Structure 1
Amino acid sequence: MTAADTKAAGPPVPVPRAPEPDRVRKGPGRGSPAAGPRQRKKGALLPYLLILPAIVAIAAVYAFPLSKTVIMSFQDMGRKELWTGDAPPWVGFEQFTNILGDGEFWSVTGRTVVFMAVCVTVTMAAGLLIALLMMRLTTWVRLVLTACLVAAWSMPLMVAASIFRWLSDSDYGLINTLIAKVVGEDFLGHNWFLDPKQGFAIISLLVIWGAIPFVVITLYAALTQVPKELEEAAALDGANVFKVFTFVTWPVIRPVFTMVTTLSVIWDFNVFGQIWLLRGNKPEPEYETLGLYSFSKAFESTSFSQGTAIALITVVLLSGVAVYYLRQLMKTGEVE
């Protein structure tokens, strides 16, 4: 078509455009800029809403006893007030000053710290070694070992304490019999609990035996997350087994190891049942840790306020460990 033909045909007829689809109205969803902060606020509140039922249940169980303990520590409640129901007199910080000024309290505290340090150190070292061993076992051997660990973990404390009382029995105990036959020394009739150091050795074995399954299973789960290619690359570069563990394996499992160690510190610091059962429900003063010391003051000396004050001091001593544990949890969550 030429230019003349175009002029003769008149102006071009505009082609009608297809109707545009209706724009999607942006409601209060993700696409609306105004609703963005609101949506983010809901997402931030969701974790707290999910754990709210657990917090309410825990508060319903622990709120009243905890408040009653705090109030009682500032009073002087004895047997008279317990039986008559009279309001005990307020003494302020007298209970705390008496306890902190008592040399026996600091002796018990030092004994508790040493006992806890030994139990935690041996538990973590043995647990890590067993977890590393499980990485090299065949599948069926590892399953058998895991089943044995779970069985030991699920055993009631009273049953475990009865077993250890039989093992350390002075007349018919397996430990004395083995020492007498293997070493040749006459250990038959030897009472391990006459010497507090030997007695605490038996108690420590019971505590460690009960704690190792949790440590082993947790650390083994952490070891399975170590990338195998990194360990193989380090070995190809000439690193020995110790260096591979130090520079490849340990950085991966360190957060889990730290959290398990912190939990072990809290648990072993509060050991009560193991000592109570092994000493026949009547532990001697040289076997008292802070938990037993608080119980003794409250129920044997009938100084309930002094016992609650010791319990609160124990909580304060462990609060730093608990805060450290929570910080490690938060750091682990940020890394993930």
Structure 2
Amino acid sequence: MATADPPHPTRPAGTPVRPSPGRGRRTARPPAARSWRTLRRRAVPYALIAPTVLALAAVLGYPLVELVLLSFQDMTRRELFAGTEPPWVGLDQYRTVLSDRFFWVVVGRTSLFTLVCTVATMGTAMLVALLLRRVAPWVRLLTGAVLVAVWAMPVMVAAAVFRWLVDPEFGVANWLLGLVPGVSFERHNWFEDPWQGFAVIAAVVIWGSLPFATITLQAALTQVPPELEEAARVDGAEGTKVFRHIVFPVIRPAFVMVTSLTAIWTFGVFNQIWLMRSGTPEKEYYLLGVHSFIESFAVNRYSTGAAIAVITVLLLLAGAVVYVRQLVRMGEAE
């Protein structure tokens, strides 16, 4: 036989039970309040990044717009000194540049130089970063300090040091190579042969790019779980297989980022060539940045140089698009 519930000690029998206002349901917010809160939450990232975007637009956007406009004009010394508006010529400057065979030689030389420097930089950085995982902490700390010092060194100082190393009269490189039996490098000029000269310039570029790549890859390697590597070795995997299937998938985003940035920076190299050739580089040493500068300020064809610079920017943007797409794909895969 069912028994009735006992009466509440503080409520008379028969009094209906009223639900508590704080139980059972949540007070709904008005639609206007919800939409305002959502809009404010979405606007916070844009508000935080707005000062950076405005600063970049002021520092880089205005010169870029002027550069593009100049490439559609025909600026000569007469307009420059008189302060008059140069005539508009439309796409004539681009037709002149793109129909020039020497321009495509420079494009091919720049692409080859970028490929060699990027591969050498990333290969060396990856090797150094892997070796730093196996050395004592004080060696790792000392190597990091040296890399930071190299990274902080101005390009002008680095170029002066390398010019001294390969100097025909007093260069250390010629002296060391001359110690090899049967090899004579006395008064050897490394820049007579463009291949040897570009090897020296590539060494300067790689030497300057190596610290950033090494430090970034070393930081990425710290994110690899040691237990995964140990489990792979217990299962019989060798060193190369462990790196390929365990280590590299973890550091791949950092590797792609550093590779793309290194390629973009190397593609626009100017200072190293200009300084190593004492401000008068021969045509055999022209890359796109040097070619644009010479056309603008040595030959005084300002609009032609602007057109070369715009084409260079477009090529760099193509590389940047590839870089962003790789990052997006990796983000979707994760």
Tell me whether 1:20 sits opposite 2:15 in the alignment.
no
Q: What's 1:245 paired with?
A: 243
Q: What's 2:184 paired with?
A: 186
296-305 or 320-329: bigger deviation: 320-329
Tell me whether 1:266 sits opposite 2:240 in the alignment.
no
Q: What's 2:304 paired with?
A: 306
Tell me whether 1:137 sits opposite 2:128 in the alignment.
no
Structure 1 distance, partners of 2:31, 2:222, is 44
96-105 or 46-55: bigger deviation: 46-55
TM-score (norm 2): 0.91
Paired AA for residue 328 in structure 1: Q
Paired AA for residue 202 in structure 2: S
Structure 1 distance, partners of 2:64, 2:191, is 35
* Equivalent of residue 41 in structure 1, options 39, 42, 56: 39
Write the mapping of 1:1-336 to structure 2, written as runs, cut at 5 A: 13-15=13-15, 20-21=20-21, 26=27, 35-331=33-329
Q: Please state how far the C-alpha of 1:188 moved relative to its aligned partner.
A: 1.6
After superposition, the C-alpha distances for 1:72-102 in whole angstroms (9 at most, x for unaligned) are 1011001110000111111110000010000
Change (3 A) 1:45 1:162: same
Structure 2 distance, partners of 1:290, 1:39, is 50
Q: Please state how far the C-alpha of 1:46 moved relative to its aligned partner.
A: 1.8
Identity of aligned residues (%): 52
SS in 1 for 2:133: helix
After superposition, the C-alpha distances for 1:301-321 in whole angstroms (9 at most, x for unaligned) are 111000000000111111111
Structure 2 distance, partners of 1:65, 1:179, is 47
Change (3 A) 1:34 1:227: farther
Paired AA for residue 87 in structure 2: P
Structure 2 distance, partners of 1:16, 1:120, is 81
Q: Structure 1 unaligned runs (5+)?
A: 1-11
Q: Please state how far the C-alpha of 1:40 moved relative to its aligned partner.
A: 3.3
Q: Please state how far the C-alpha of 1:183 moved relative to its aligned partner.
A: 4.2
Paired AA for residue 48 in structure 1: Y
Q: Structure 2 unaligned runs (5+)?
A: 1-11
SS in 1 for 2:218: helix
321-330 or 205-214: bigger deviation: 321-330
Q: Please state how far the C-alpha of 1:328 moved relative to its aligned partner.
A: 3.4
After superposition, the C-alpha distances for 1:176-204 in whole angstroms (9 at most, x for unaligned) are 00000134422120000000000000000
Structure 2 distance, partners of 1:309, 1:151, is 37
After superposition, the C-alpha distances for 1:7-36 in whole angstroms (9 at most, x for unaligned) are xxxxx84357588356898575xxx66644
TM-score (norm 1): 0.90
Structure 2 distance, partners of 1:123, 1:22, is 64
Structure 2 distance, partners of 1:149, 1:13, is 84
RMSD (Å), alpha carbons: 2.0
Paired AA for residue 128 in structure 2: I
Change (3 A) 1:22 1:253: closer
38-47 or 168-177: bigger deviation: 38-47
Q: Please state how far the C-alpha of 1:299 moved relative to its aligned partner.
A: 0.6
Structure 1 distance, partners of 2:120, 2:68, is 35
163-172 or 34-43: bigger deviation: 34-43
SS in 2 for 1:187: coil
Structure 1 distance, partners of 2:69, 2:56, is 20
SS in 2 for 1:136: coil
**Rg bigger for which structure?**
1
Q: Please state how far the C-alpha of 1:327 moved relative to its aligned partner.
A: 2.8
Paired AA for residue 136 in structure 2: T
Paired AA for residue 315 in structure 2: L
Q: Please state how far the C-alpha of 1:64 moved relative to its aligned partner.
A: 2.0
Paired AA for residue 270 in structure 1: G
Structure 1 distance, partners of 2:110, 2:87, is 32
Structure 1 distance, partners of 2:173, 2:332, is 49
